[in-house]
Structure 1
Amino acid sequence: MELNTIKPADGAKKAKRRVGRGIGSGLGKTAGRGHKGQKSRAGGFHKVGFEGGQMPLQRRLPKRGFKSALLKFNAEINLTDLQRLGADEVDLAVLKAAGLVSDLIKNVKVIKSGELTRKVVLKGIGATAGAKAAVEAAGGQVA
Structure 2
Amino acid sequence: MQVHKLTPSVSRKLRRVGRGHGTGRGKTAGRGTKGQKARGRIPIGFEGGQQPLSRRLPLYRGRMKNQPVRTKALPINLKALNQLPSGTEVTAEVLVKYHIIDKSVVNRRLKILGDGELTIPLTIKLPISKRAAKKIEKTGGTVVQAA
Give % identity: 35
Residues in 2 aligned to 1:75 and 1:51: alpha-carbon distance in whole angstroms: 40
1:58, CA displacement in angstroms? 4.3
Matching residue's letter, 1:137? K
Match of 2:52 in 1: 56
Structure 1 alignment gaps of length 5 or more: 1-48
1:86, CA displacement in angstroms? 3.6
1:57, CA displacement in angstroms? 6.1
Matching residue's letter, 1:139? G
Matching residue's letter, 1:111? L
Change (3 A) 1:116 1:52: closer
Measured on the aligned residues, the alpha-carbon RMSD in Å equals 3.3
How do residues 12-31 of structure 1 correspond to structure 2 at under 5 angstroms? Answer: none
Residues in 2 aligned to 1:137 and 1:94: alpha-carbon distance in whole angstroms: 22
Matching residue's letter, 1:68? P
Matching residue's letter, 1:56? P
Residues in 1 aligned to 2:53 and 2:109: alpha-carbon distance in whole angstroms: 40
Deviations 1:27-53 (A, max 9, x none): xxxxxxxxxxxxxxxxxxxxxx78785
TM-score by length of 2: 0.49
TM-score by length of 1: 0.50
Residues in 1 aligned to 2:46 and 2:120: alpha-carbon distance in whole angstroms: 65
Q: Which has the larger radius of gyration?
A: 1
Change (3 A) 1:112 1:56: same
How do residues 1-143 of structure 1 correspond to structure 2 at under 5 angstroms? Answer: 53-56=49-52, 58-59=54-55, 68-71=68-71, 74-86=73-85, 88-102=88-102, 103-104=104-105, 105-123=107-125, 125-143=126-144
Residues in 2 aligned to 1:67 and 1:52: alpha-carbon distance in whole angstroms: 28
